[in-house]
Structures are given as structure tokens and as C-alpha cells.
């Protein structure tokens, strides 16, 4: 069997690893990737040491159902060197995690070759996939080369930042902050910087500026003014009620699950630990109105809080959530989508070391929040941010807005257009790409059918393993 993988980020690594550990008969695999930083994708290329992974090692394993795979690679010495004492977990620079991905991919390719597979990496972007004359699909690279494959897996990642305020091309506007090692190089130490957004990317920008000794003012300008919650120390708690099994049972009983069913599971989980559901949800909803720095301070102080509520909710967003999402009605999904900002702030919290750095910046007065932003315009010598709290001037604007999950990645736009034209796939009404041909697969954030939250490594690895299983079934058939 001839397999083509389009894109060489974490999803492709998960897929290759799953093929390598399987009993697959020898075949051929070709990976297409234009970037010089193979296997790292958008997040894990070379960057500043201050740009850290956002989650503990147990949920960063690219091998599905082997939560220790990444920790073993990291080893005790490196783990100790990167230990975040507040968090009680090692948090490595994202570039170092990229090394893990690269090592895993190279090991997988070598294993496959050892079993008689032919492997190839082609340094090119794919611009089209179409039906070919035979049974295979044809892939076309930007420079017009044709390749054919029995099975094509798109691992093209998620979208890239959108330019909401139409600032592209304005001097001093940084449209995509990564890699911060090069974008922040353009920032004078005294410049007043407006960072658009207040999510994890905005946090990355602010703490990286501070780590480089930035002296100018930094403002996080956003509509919501809501910061991510602060990650609590993992306790290793295993939910007994908020589980896939319980959701499955509910679905069997009622022919689907509702948001109220899921709330009931969480209520039972909390009750068993003596925690009050009403108080927990009230605390969460306060994120919309509570002064963000005050909330940040309180959350940082609660990193060790033994209550399980937020931990269960955060963890289940990636474990039970994707399963329950498929069983929910459209109106319940819509209800959840209306809480996107709050849900993302809980599901994707900032690591405590970043929370501490942010708080220090707020306390010194160097960092401020500017919520209620309505317009940002380029003016003579800089930018003016217009918001509910008045105007703010900045020398530079860094865009830290991420696109909604399941957006078409810019580098895959042509490719997607060709798939739609050939009827090989369709865009799902809730985002993402749904294959309409059994020879086509999607792994990663662009796969249709996921929840309204951007996939993390955990979900990417699970989908990669499932897809490898599908490829092997096709090979056997
Ligand atoms: C800044 C950032 C930080 C993150 N941090 C974390 C974290 O700490 N923990 C976590 O669990 N998750 C994190 N995530 C979530 C992230 O989505 C996943 O961790 C993971 O990177 C997704 O991998 P992927 O392979 O699907 O996509 P990507 O890593 O984006 O890789 C896609 C690859 O496809 C290539 N490509 C695109 N189009 C084409 C084409 N037409 N032809 C050929 N190649 C193409 C691209 O060049 C790229 O290399 C982060 C995401 C971002 C954006």
C-alpha cells in the first residue's frame, strides 16, 4: 500500500508512530512538508526558551494510550532541569518538545524501513489532490510534480491568525507572533506594545517580551478582557462519573446526551468529594465580570487547591468532551458555543510560571488589560486602539488572535479547493473537512466533527492512532 501524508507536524508524527508500532505489512509512505523544520509543525519549531508547552507531560505523549512515552524520552535529568516548582511538573520549551516529535518520527521511519517499508520525505507543499485514472489518488506539488497514493492523510494543522482589524502591511504590525525569537527581535525595548488578544498566545507574547528585558508598556487589548484560567497542580484524580462509559450509558438510555445530563455527571462527581456544584459554576461564571488581575492573583494562589471541580472540567474537555459532543443536539452545541471564550479559558489554562510572570508585570504597572476594544487603526508613527475604556496609543501591535478551530489552514487553501471541486471531501457546517472518499483521511485540528475547542496533542494522538487502524484495515482488505 502506498500512503501519502500531507504535512509533517505532530499529527503526522502520531500517525507514523502508530504505523511503526503496528503489525502492518510493508508498504510505502511519502510525507510532503515545505517547512525546513520537519515534524514540528507551527507550534514546536525553534523559538525562545521562554516559549513553553502548556500542559503536563502525561498529556503531551504523541503515542496514544502510552501516557509515559514523552516522559521516558524526556528522562529524569531533563525533567528535573525543567521542573516548574509551582506546578510540580516539568514544562519544557516548545522547541525541546519539537525535538521529541522529530526523534519519534525519525525512529518510526527507521522502524518501518527495517520492516521493509519504503519511506520518503518530499520538501514540497501539496496544492491539489484529485482522482487519477487508476484506483489511486493523485497529489500535485507546488512545482507541478505528480505523485500517486492508495491512501492520503491530510495532517495540515489548524488555521493561522486572522487580521481582524485590517492592519496587514502597516509598519509595526506583527501579523503572526511565532516564532517569537524572530518577531520580537523587531521590537525596540522601549516601544509601547499592544498585543491583540488575551488568550494563551497573548500570554506567550507578554512573558517573552518581559524575559527579553522589555522596558516599554504592554497592553493586552481584547473584546472580552478574559485571561485563561491558571492550571492547577495535577492530582492524578480519575473521574468516576464524568467518563465516556457514563456518557455512553446515558446515550443508550435516552438516545443522545444533553448538556443537563453532562452537568448532572459533574454534579455527582463534585458531590462525592463534598464540593458544591452551584458554587463551582458561580465561580466559573464570575470570570466574565471579575476584574482579571484580581482573578489571576486568586487563581495563582489556588494552584494547590485540592478541589477537583476545575481539574475535572478541564481534563474532560479533551477526553469525554469530544465523545459527548457527537451525541449532543445542535441546540445544546450552540448553547456551548456561546460560552466559547469561557470554555477555552478553562480548557486551555496558562501554566503557573506564566501566571506568576504576568502578575509581576501587572503589579509593576508595565502590563495592563484593555478590554472592550472596538477598532485598531494605523496612525502616523504607530497605532490607535479605540475601546470602551477610551483610546490607547501603541508603537507596535502584535496579533495574538487565533482562528476558530477547524479553520482552513492558509497553506492548504488550494489543496482544499481541489478536494471540494473533485467531490473528494466537503466542508462540514461546523468547521473542518469531512472526507467523502474512503481513500482520504484527516488528522489534527482540521478534521471535521471535533468540538468547539482547538485540539491538543492528546486528541491529535488519538485520532492519528484511529486513522492508522483504518489504513491497516484498508491494507488488509
Ligand atoms: C502556538 C501553539 C501552541 C500550542 N501548544 C500546545 C501545547 O502546549 N500542548 C498541546 O497539547 N497542544 C498545543 N497546541 C495545539 C496544537 O494544535 C497541537 O499540539 C499540534 O501542533 C497540532 O499538530 P498538527 O500536525 O495537526 O498541526 P501543525 O503542527 O500545525 O502541523 C501542520 C503541518 O502541515 C504543513 N502543511 C500545511 N499545509 C500543507 C500543504 N498544503 N502541503 C504540505 N504540508 C502542509 C504545515 O507546514 C505544518 O508543518 C498548540 C497550538 C499552537 C498553535
Burial 58-95 (b: 16+ CB within 10 A, else e): ebbbbbbeebebbbebbeeeeeeebebebbebbbbbbb
Mean pLDDT of the chain: 94
pLDDT of residue 451: 79
Chain segment 199-220, per-residue pLDDT in tens: 999 999 999 999 999 999 999 9
Q: What percent of the chain has pLDDT over 90?
A: 87
* Residues 4/94, Cβ–Cβ less than 8 Å: no
Q: How far is the CA of 24 from the centre of ligand 1 (A)?
A: 26
CA separation for the pair 107, 182 (Å, rounded):
30
Q: How far is the CA of 36 from the centre of ligand 1 (A)?
A: 14
Minimal-distance CA residue to ligand 1 atom 4: 43
Residues in contact with ligand 1 by the CB-under-6-Å rule are: 6-12, 32-35, 41-43, 53-55, 125-126, 155-158, 178, 409, 411-412, 415, 444-445, 454-457, 460
- Give the residue-averaged pLDDT of 43-66: 95
Task: Give the residue from 202, 248, 209, 255 showing the smallest Cα distance to 225.
Answer: 202
Binning pLDDT at 50, 70 and 90, where does residue 363 land? very high
pLDDT of residue 161: 87
Could you tell me where the beta strands, DSSP code E, fall in 315-370? 367-370
What is the length of the chain? Answer: 477
- Give the residue-averaged pLDDT of 110-115: 97
pLDDT of residue 180: 96
* pLDDT higher at 458 or 404: 458
Residue 303 has pLDDT above 90, yes or no: yes
Question: Which of the listed residues 9, 39, 159, 464 should we mutate to test ligand 1's pocket, taking the one with most ligand atoms within 8 A of CB?
Answer: 9
Binning pLDDT at 50, 70 and 90, where does residue 431 land? confident
Q: Which atom of ligand 1 is nearest to the CA of 157?
A: 27
pLDDT of residue 271: 97
pLDDT of residue 452: 78
Residue 354 has pLDDT above 90, yes or no: yes
Tell me, what DSSP letter sits at residue 285?
H
Q: Which domains does the chain have, with CATH numbers?
A: 2-160+404-476 (3.50.50.60), 173-228+351-399 (3.50.50.60), 244-341 (no CATH)
Minimal-distance CA residue to ligand 1 atom 16: 456
- Give the residue-averaged pLDDT of 273-286: 96
Chain segment 165-184, per-residue pLDDT in tens: 999 999 999 999 999 999 99
Residue 454 has pLDDT above 90, yes or no: no
DSSP 338-351: TTHHHHHHHHSPBP
Q: Which of 80-84, 112-116, 326-330, 428-432 has the lowest mean pLDDT?
A: 428-432
Q: How far is the CA of 383 from the centre of ligand 1 (A)?
A: 31
Minimal-distance CA residue to ligand 1 atom 3: 43
Q: Which atom of ligand 1 is nearest to the CA of 402?
A: 53
Minimal-distance CA residue to ligand 1 atom 14: 456
Q: How far is the CA of 9 from the centre of ligand 1 (A)?
A: 5
Q: How far is the CA of 38 from the centre of ligand 1 (A)?
A: 11
* Residues 471/435, Cβ–Cβ less than 8 Å: no
Q: How far is the CA of 12 from the centre of ligand 1 (A)?
A: 10
Q: How far is the CA of 166 from the centre of ligand 1 (A)?
A: 25
Q: Which atom of ligand 1 is nearest to the CA of 125?
A: 42
Minimal-distance CA residue to ligand 1 atom 23: 10
Binning pLDDT at 50, 70 and 90, where does residue 113 land? very high
pLDDT of residue 24: 83
pLDDT of residue 476: 78
Question: Which of the listed residues 6, 10, 15 should we mutate to test ligand 1's pocket, taking the one with most ligand atoms within 8 A of CB?
Answer: 10
pLDDT of residue 450: 78
Residue 5 CA, chain-centre distance (Å), reads 20
Minimal-distance CA residue to ligand 1 atom 12: 456
Q: How far is the CA of 472 from the centre of ligand 1 (A)?
A: 24
CA separation for the pair 287, 342 (Å, rounded):
7
Residue 51 has pLDDT above 90, yes or no: yes
Residue 461 has pLDDT above 90, yes or no: yes
Question: Which of the listed residues 57, 82, 145, 158 should we mutate to test ligand 1's pocket, taking the one with most ligand atoms within 8 A of CB?
Answer: 158
Tell me, what DSSP letter sits at residue 270?
H
Question: Which of the listed residues 12, 41, 354, 454 should we mutate to test ligand 1's pocket, taking the one with most ligand atoms within 8 A of CB?
Answer: 41
Residue 273 has pLDDT above 80, yes or no: yes
Question: Which of the listed residues 52, 87, 156 should we mutate to test ligand 1's pocket, taking the one with most ligand atoms within 8 A of CB?
Answer: 156
**Residues whose CB is less than 8 angstroms from the CB of residue 4 and which lie 6 or more positions away in sequence, other chains included:** 29, 30, 31, 32, 137, 139, 147, 149, 151, 152, 153
- Give the residue-averaged pLDDT of 138-163: 94
Amino acid at each position: 500500500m502506498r500512503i501519502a501524508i500531507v504535512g509533517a507536524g505532530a499529527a503526522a508524527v502520531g500517525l507514523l508512530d502508530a504505523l511503526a508500532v503496528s503489525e502492518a505489512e510493508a508498504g510505502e509512505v511519502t510525507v510532503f512538508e515545505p517547512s525546513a523544520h520537519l515534524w514540528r509543525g507551527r507550534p514546536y519549531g525553534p523559538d525562545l526558551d521562554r516559549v513553553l508547552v502548556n500542559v503536563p507531560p502525561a498529556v503531551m505523549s504523541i503515542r496514544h494510550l502510552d501516557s509515559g512515552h514523552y516522559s521516558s524520552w524526556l528522562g529524569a535529568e531533563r525533567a528535573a532541569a525543567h521542573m516548574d516548582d509551582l506546578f510540580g511538573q516539568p514544562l519544557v520549551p516548545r522547541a525541546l518538545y519539537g525535538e521529541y516529535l522529530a526523534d519519534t518520527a525519525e525512529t518510526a521511519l527507521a522502524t518501518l524501513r527495517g520492516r521493509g517499508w519504503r519511506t520518503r520525505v518530499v520538501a514540497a507543499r501539496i496544492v491539489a489532490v484529485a482522482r487519477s485514472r487508476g484506483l489511486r489518488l493523485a497529489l500535485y506539488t507546488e512545482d507541478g510534480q505528480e505523485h500517486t497514493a492508495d491512501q492520503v492523510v491530510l495532517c495540515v494543522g489548524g488555521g493561522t491568525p486572522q487580521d481582524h482589524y485590517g492592519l496587514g502591511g502597516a509598519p509595526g504590525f506583527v501579523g503572526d507572533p511565532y516564532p517569537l525569537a524572530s518577531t520580537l527581535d523587531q521590537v525596540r525595548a522601549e516601544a509601547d506594545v499592544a498585543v491583540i488578544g488575551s488568550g494563551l498566545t497573548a500570554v506567550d507574547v507578554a512573558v517573552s517580551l518581559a524575559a527579553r528585558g522589555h522596558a516599554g508598556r504592554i497592553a493586552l487589548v481584547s473584546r472580552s478582557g478574559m485571561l485563561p484560567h491558571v492550571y492547577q497542580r495535577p492530582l492524578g484524580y480519575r473521574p468516576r462519573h464524568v467518563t465516556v462509559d457514563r456518557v455512553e450509558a446515558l446515550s443508550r438510555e435516552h438516545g443522545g446526551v444533553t448538556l443537563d445530563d453532562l452537568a448532572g455527571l459533574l454534579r455527582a462527581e463534585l458531590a462525592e468529594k463534598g464540593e458544591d456544584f452551584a458554587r463551582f459554576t458561580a465561580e466559573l461564571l464570575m470570570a466574565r465580570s471579575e476584574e482579571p488581575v484580581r482573578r489571576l492573583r486568586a487563581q495563582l494562589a489556588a494552584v494547590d487547591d485540592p478541589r477537583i471541580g476545575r481539574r475535572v472540567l478541564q481534563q474532560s474537555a479533551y477526553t469525554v468532551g469530544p465523545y459527548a459532543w457527537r451525541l449532543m443536539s445542535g441546540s445544546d452545541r450552540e448553547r456551548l458555543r456561546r460560552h466559547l471564550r469561557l470554555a477555552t479559558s478553562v480548557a486551555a489554562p496558562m501554566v503557573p510560571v506564566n501566571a506568576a510572570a504576568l502578575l509581576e508585570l501587572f503589579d509593576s504597572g508595565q502590563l495592563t488589560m484593555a478590554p472592550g476594544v472596538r477598532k485598531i487603526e494605523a496612525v502616523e508613527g504607530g497605532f490607535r486602539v479605540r475601546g470602551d475604556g477610551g483610546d490607547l496609543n501603541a508603537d507596535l501591535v502584535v496579533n495574538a488572535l487565533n482562528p476558530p478551530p477547524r479553520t482552513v489552514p492558509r497553506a492548504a487553501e488550494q489543496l482544499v479547493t481541489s478536494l471540494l471541486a473533485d467531490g473528494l471531501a466537503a466542508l462540514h457546517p461546523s468547521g473542518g473537512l469531512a472526507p467523502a472518499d474512503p481513500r482520504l483521511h484527516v488528522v489534527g485540528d482540521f478534521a471535521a466533527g471535533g468540538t468547539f475547542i482547538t485540539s491538543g496533542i492528546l486528541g491529535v494522538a488519538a485520532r492519528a492512532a484511529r486513522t492508522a487502524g483504518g489504513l491497516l484495515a484498508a491494507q488488509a482488505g
